[in-house]
Amino acid sequence: MPGNGIYRAITPVLALILAGCNPFSEAGPMMDEYVERLARVLEAPPQFSEIDSANQLPRRRDRVLTVPELDMGMLDFLSLYGCELQYVVGEKNSVMGRVMQPLNRLRYEVRFIEAARECLPEIEDEDFSDELEEAIESKLESLPIAIWNATWGVEEIEKLFTLAKGYYPVAAEGNPVSDLAVDIDRLNAAVARLRADDLTVSLEFAGSVHQRWQAEYRAGQLINSALLLTARLQDGTRLLMQRIEGRPLCLNGQPNNQSDIVQNMFFSVYIEKIQPYMSSVRQARTALIEPFEHLARIQTDVMPERFADWYQRHLSQDAPKGLWQELDAAMMEHTRAWQELLGQCGMRPGD
């Protein structure tokens, strides 16, 4: 038929239009639609609160710490000494060595300590041996600073935590944070070993971790979604509580036509749409945000003050004013309100 070609061309376009009209395909429209439908079945006007704003990761100049340098005269002398240490120091004294990226600087600090320890038994001059031991001790003391810079001080992490990429996806295929979760767990293990003076840990994998951070933005999306969920669940809880404290949904605990509508909305929207999204955000939070919290927490001894405020708000799982504590409270209060309302009609979930 002549029209078949036109039909085949139009069908994908119609599908895209229809998909765009589905409010449950994206987090923002989905949560707004939930509040609107909840208000409708409860016969109340919807009220939308402002969604709290998050702060971007502190600027790099506020995250990067200064690594103490050894006396240049001593470095020049070491660069002439006949052991592996001379090559390590020579590398640092090169033009490229003076502008090392944080990860390469950490690698240098580790190599210096290892090479200096190997060189120490070969030194016969007692004064110089004492100086080299002091240099090793100095490098060990400043190693946590180099570790911090190579984790929280790198430019790539800014992409991972950017807030410019919207919300965590709804019904995403596969696990959007699986590779990132593997990376951060491996990085945490390496950092723990380095901070325990186990310098044998390989850092070869860290470069690819940073590259993935630069290509992903899931951490920032999760922060945005936490704030979205908190605001809209609180909006929904207010609607539920207004009905609970006002005109009963059911008289004498007997279900009626409206309670059936409310219960249907509870299952078809809250249980089938909203709860799966909350669950996916919770799972991604456990896999990604909590390990990043750990990466920061184990380095609190060198954490910059401006970063500490951001950490308490955006990463901490137990800070009273942390956004994750606020989300947990919003979810519990919302669940409790639903149980109380449906309980008026003998429909309490789980009964």
Split the chain (351 residues) into runs of 10 and give each run's mean pLDDT.
43 44 93 98 95 96 92 60 74 65 94 90 81 90 98 97 97 90 98 96 96 96 98 98 94 91 97 97 98 98 96 96 97 97 89 60
Which of 133, 152, 171 lies at the terminal end of a domain, its last residue? 152
Assess whether 228 and 95 both reside in one domain. Answer: no
Q: Is residue 6 part of a domain?
A: no
Assess whether 52 and 91 both reside in one domain. Answer: no
Q: Is residue 270 part of a domain?
A: yes
Assess whether 241 and 339 both reside in one domain. Answer: yes
Which of 119, 152, 185 lies at the terminal end of a domain, its last residue? 152
Q: What is the largest CA-CA distance in the chain?
A: 97
Amino acid 10: pLDDT: 45
Q: Is residue 292 part of a domain?
A: yes
Assess whether 220 and 304 both reside in one domain. Answer: yes
Domain span including residue 294: 27-64+159-351
Q: Is residue 175 part of a domain?
A: yes
Q: Is residue 55 part of a domain?
A: yes
Assess whether 242 and 341 both reside in one domain. Answer: yes
Assess whether 337 and 215 both reside in one domain. Answer: yes
Amino acid 2: pLDDT: 43
What total number of domains does the chain contain? 2
Which of 111, 131, 152 lies at the terminal end of a domain, its last residue? 152
Assess whether 180 and 282 both reside in one domain. Answer: yes
Assess whether 83 and 176 both reside in one domain. Answer: no
Assess whether 60 and 71 both reside in one domain. Answer: no
Q: Is residue 5 part of a domain?
A: no
Assess whether 244 and 101 both reside in one domain. Answer: no
Q: Is residue 8 part of a domain?
A: no
Assess whether 76 and 209 both reside in one domain. Answer: no
Assess whether 54 and 77 both reside in one domain. Answer: no
Q: Is residue 22 part of a domain?
A: no
